[in-house]
Amino acid sequence: MRQASRAPTMGLHSRILAVCLLGLVFLVAGTVPESRAQNTLRAAAVVNDEVISVLDLVMRTRLAILASGLTDTPEVRGRLQEQVLRGLIDERLQLQEAQRLDISVTDDQLETAIEGLAQQNQMSRDQFVGFLLQNQILPKALREQVRGNLIWQAVVQRRLQPSVEVGEEEIDEFIGRIESRSGMVQYRVSEILLTVDSVRQEEDIRKAAARLAEELRGGAQFPALARQFSQSATAAVGGDLGWVQKSQLPEEVADALVQMRPGDMYGPIRALGGYYIVWKRDQRQISTGEVTVDLKQLLFALPSDASETQLQAAQAQAANLRPELDGCDKLDALAAEHGSPGSGALGKVRLNDLPPALRQTVAALPVGQPSEPVPVPGGIGLLLVCDRQSDGIDRERIRSSLVNQRVDLLSRRYLRDLRRAANVDIRL
């Protein structure tokens, strides 16, 4: 789902888009029968009297496929098209609401966002436009998607965020829950959520979620699909929920995570709000604070198929050198004389990011004293903690997380209400 040149002036950009549009129209007209070329201009859907054309749907589907790292085939387009259309309908409703509220974004904001996307893909802006055209995507399709995202963010920030407040007592309560669960498991999770607003949608949304799960199993990148299709606020960060506890997730999702191994993807899961697809990226034990260690190692390398004799020899060599390790400076000298490549500084490492066995070893080490010989990636190692820092609990990060959770919930309700009040006619 496993990033420039200066942006052109708006006048030049408009001319480029005009030329691109003409080029694509000629391409369509020159490669398909006239009746099919005309078909691209008919309505795929009408949203409160505003038309989403078949051409809009074709362009946005190609963009979703390209962004997700999928192969553009008729089968893939067919599986994704329905969900792409739902996204376009939501986007049109969001833009209409922004227009009603007189909320917009400037051309400079839009150009900055597009140039940022180009840089993330290690291209200049002109190279990025050329890349889209090579894949038969009008730059206007990306521009409209980015504009829709920016405008909805502006609507949420103006209409919803000011109404959300988190008091000190709520933060204290949250911290109390963390402390009471110290030592329990936390999960690093990414999500894709397709919301269900009515019983009539149930089967269609389930099928759409199943199609996305199929693309993921076929090699699609989870973050890219989340950005394109997820209806959770986490879509903006590729579906990343960060580190969460079971209690922070819908019960059905939490139950599935317990059974999954790190690296597993599972779904769709029907839970409160809609259908979830989840990726369990990692897990760790809860700590009331982040402990960071400045870690070094003296490595005695072993092949992956090391014999018992080789293993014992490495352990004996490590044990013999351990008494000489009386500080971090001495480790550097011993590493140069006896160690394998990979010996030396490992840098600042968060204790919770270490594998469980190594975490227990390092957590018990006094600063400056070497560990017993332990299995490490690549062989047998002597570990040495040169410094240890504990950050404690960050109240402002907790406040921000609670605010974001509530704003996300309000945003989904807001869009649900827009859908229910809208007159939507799907014509495909």
- Biggest CA–CA distance in the chain, Å, is 84
Phi, psi at 50, each rounded to 5°: -100, 135
Per-residue pLDDT of 121-130, as tens digits, reads: 889 999 999 9
Note whether residue 350 is domain-resident: yes
On the question of pLDDT at 404 being above 50, the answer is yes
Note whether residue 406 is domain-resident: no
- Looking at the fold, whether 282 and 307 belong to one and the same domain comes out as no
Provide mean pLDDT across the span 375-397.
Answer: 80
Per-residue pLDDT of 270-280, as tens digits, reads: 998 899 999 99
- Looking at the fold, whether 368 and 349 belong to one and the same domain comes out as yes
Domain boundary (269, 286, 303) is at 286
Length of the chain: 428
- Looking at the fold, whether 263 and 304 belong to one and the same domain comes out as no
On the question of pLDDT at 355 being above 60, the answer is yes
Q: What is the DSSP string of 128-151?
A: HHHHHHHTT--HHHHHHHHHHHHH
Per-residue pLDDT of 238-269, as tens digits, reads: 899 888 888 889 999 999 999 999 999 999 99
323, two tokens: 């008494």
Domain boundary (239, 261, 286) is at 286
- Looking at the fold, whether 274 and 298 belong to one and the same domain comes out as no
Residue 373's domain is classified under what CATH number? Answer: 3.10.50.40
Residue 13: predicted pLDDT: 39
Residue 263: predicted pLDDT: 92
Note whether residue 167 is domain-resident: no
Note whether residue 425 is domain-resident: no
On the question of pLDDT at 19 being above 70, the answer is no
Looking up tokens 């002109």 gives 126
Residue 386: predicted pLDDT: 87
**Residue 171's pLDDT band (boundaries 50, 70, 90)?**
confident
Residue 337 CB partners (closer than 8 Å, separation 6+): none
- Looking at the fold, whether 58 and 133 belong to one and the same domain comes out as yes
On the question of pLDDT at 423 being above 60, the answer is yes
Note whether residue 403 is domain-resident: no
Note whether residue 422 is domain-resident: no
- Looking at the fold, whether 264 and 309 belong to one and the same domain comes out as no
State the Cα–Cα distance between residues 73 and 286, nearest whole angstrom.
45
**Residue 1's pLDDT band (boundaries 50, 70, 90)?**
very low
16, two tokens: 């480029």
Q: What is the DSSP string of 56-113?
A: HHHHHHHHHHHHTT----HHHHHHHHHHHHHHHHHHHHHHHHHHHTT----HHHHHHH
- Do 97 and 153 form a contact (C-beta atoms < 8 A)? no
Grouping H, G, I as helix, E, B as strand and the rest as coil, residue 343 is strand
- Looking at the fold, whether 193 and 304 belong to one and the same domain comes out as no
On the question of pLDDT at 15 being above 60, the answer is no
Note whether residue 4 is domain-resident: no
When the pLDDT of each residue in the chain is averaged and rounded to a whole number, the result is 83
On the question of pLDDT at 97 being above 70, the answer is yes
Segment holding 18, helix H or strand E: helix 10-31
Residue 5: predicted pLDDT: 33
Question: What domain count does the chain have?
Answer: 3
Q: How many C-beta atoms surround the C-beta of residue 312 within 10 A?
A: 12
Provide mean pLDDT across the span 186-210.
Answer: 92
Per-residue pLDDT of 317-352, as tens digits, reads: 889 888 888 888 888 788 777 767 778 888 888 877
Share above pLDDT 90 across residues of the chain, in percent, rounded to a whole number: 41
Q: Which amino acid is at 189?
A: V
Note whether residue 206 is domain-resident: yes
Per-residue pLDDT of 226-246, as tens digits, reads: 988 999 888 888 899 888 888
Residue 181: predicted pLDDT: 65
Q: Which domain holds residue 332?
A: 291-390
Provide mean pLDDT across the span 161-183.
Answer: 79
E-only strand ranges, 159-259: 185-195, 240-244
Phi, psi at 339, each rounded to 5°: -80, 165
Residue 276: predicted pLDDT: 97
- Looking at the fold, whether 269 and 298 belong to one and the same domain comes out as no
- Looking at the fold, whether 117 and 253 belong to one and the same domain comes out as no
Per-residue pLDDT of 21-52, as tens digits, reads: 333 433 333 333 444 545 677 899 999 999 99
- Looking at the fold, whether 27 and 132 belong to one and the same domain comes out as yes
Q: Quote the Cα angle for 373-378-381, to 5°.
A: 20
**Residue 9's pLDDT band (boundaries 50, 70, 90)?**
very low
Per-residue pLDDT of 286-298, as tens digits, reads: 766 667 888 888 8
- Looking at the fold, whether 275 and 311 belong to one and the same domain comes out as no
Residue 192: predicted pLDDT: 96
- Looking at the fold, whether 19 and 113 belong to one and the same domain comes out as yes
Closest C-alpha to 6, from 110, 126, 120, 106: 126
Share above pLDDT 70 across residues of the chain, in percent, rounded to a whole number: 87
